[in-house]
Amino acid sequence: MLNENDLHRYARQIIIQNFDEEGQEKILKTKCLIVGAGGLGCPVALYAAAAGFGHIEIYDEDLIETTNLNRQIAHQNKDIGLNKAENLAEKCLSINPDIYLKPHKKNFDKSTNINSFDLVFDCSDNAGTKYLLNYLCHSFKKILISGSAVQMEGQFSVWKSGVNKNLPCYECVFPKTKETAPITNCREAGIIGPITGLIGCMQVNEAIKEIALKEYASMAGYLFLYDGLLQNLDKIKLSKKDNCLVCST
Ligand SMILES: [Zn+2]
């Protein structure tokens, strides 16, 4: 049962069709892991906190720099030099003091007990972390909502290969190769702030649907590609790879 305070705080989303008080209770009970407190991690954490995800842990070892501020929207000029995970957790709590926030001043690695979470947001900017998160989320049957953004383009997906064996995993679609990947980091390729904001918001929108709604169309098994120059959002149906090293066994 929601208390008076919760009924008031979440009043505008509880009235959404298929959401109800039950949906809010589920959100409050959900344990979220957010990997990365940068361009994607900031909007993801702020909106997840505002929606009332009741337990949020954030991993990032980086310190806030001036060049982050065009997009990492929770970090302000006065915060330069502070740890990103700690600062983001503080900003989330200033929006919603009723939830539990735990920042980790280190990068996510395989020592993190992913089994203690219900939902994982991949807001990282490197391939190694994305493959590791995919492997762990598949193995422990967790919902993984990943995002990435570079220049004026972004993409996001919901991965549930551990929950439903007919669904593809990240590695089915993006198999590891020995070839040198094209430059996709923001430092070298550039990034427009609103792109990370949009993709991060879409990640939380999918999380709210997966957790709270009684009836909804899951977007697991699709890849969404957003082009900020042409204002296109492509929805691509993904298929499972027969010999995927992660999910086919
Ligand atoms: Zn796979």
Mean pLDDT across 71-80? 98
CATH of the domain spanning 4-237: 3.40.50.720
Percent of the chain with pLDDT over 70: 98
Find the mean pLDDT for residues 151-167.
97
pLDDT tops 70 at residue 183: no
For residue 129 the two structure tokens come to 């972390």
d(CA 242, CA 96): 44
Residue ranges of the domains in the chain?
4-237
Q: How far is the CA of 218 from the centre of ligand 1 (A)?
A: 18
pLDDT tens-place string over residues 197-231 = 999 999 999 999 999 999 999 999 999 999 999 99
> How many angstroms separate the alpha carbon of residue 79 from the centre of ligand 1?
40
**Cβ atoms of residues 195 and 226 within 8 Å:** yes
196 CA to middle of ligand 1, Å?
26
Q: Which residue has the higher pLDDT, 150 or 189?
A: 150
Ligand 1 mean position, distance from CA 240 (Å): 6
Residues 6 or more apart whose CB falls under 8 angstroms from that of 204 comprise 43, 44, 47, 48, 51, 121
- Residue 211 C-alpha to ligand 1 middle, in angstroms? 23
Q: What is the whole-number distance in angstroms between the Cα of residue 228 and the centre of ligand 1?
A: 29
202 CA to middle of ligand 1, Å?
23
- What is the pLDDT, as a whole number, of residue 182? 63
Burial class (CB in 10 A: 0-12, 13-18, 19+), 249: exposed
- Output the 3-class SS for the chain: CCCHHHHHHCHHHHCCCCCHHHHHHHHHHCEEEEECCCCCHHHHHHHHHHHCCCEEEEECCCECCHHHCCCCCCCCHHHCCCEHHHHHHHHHHHHCCCCEEEEECCCCCCCCCHHHCCEEEECCCCHHHHHHHHHHHHHCCCEEEEEEEEECEEEEEEECCCCCCCCCCHHHHCCCCCCCCCCCCHHHHCECHHHHHHHHHHHHHHHHHHHHCCCCCCCECEEEEEECCCCEEEEEECCCCCCCCCCCC
Does this model's pTM top 0.75? My answer is: yes
Q: What is the band of 1 on the pLDDT scale with cuts at 50, 70, 90? A: confident
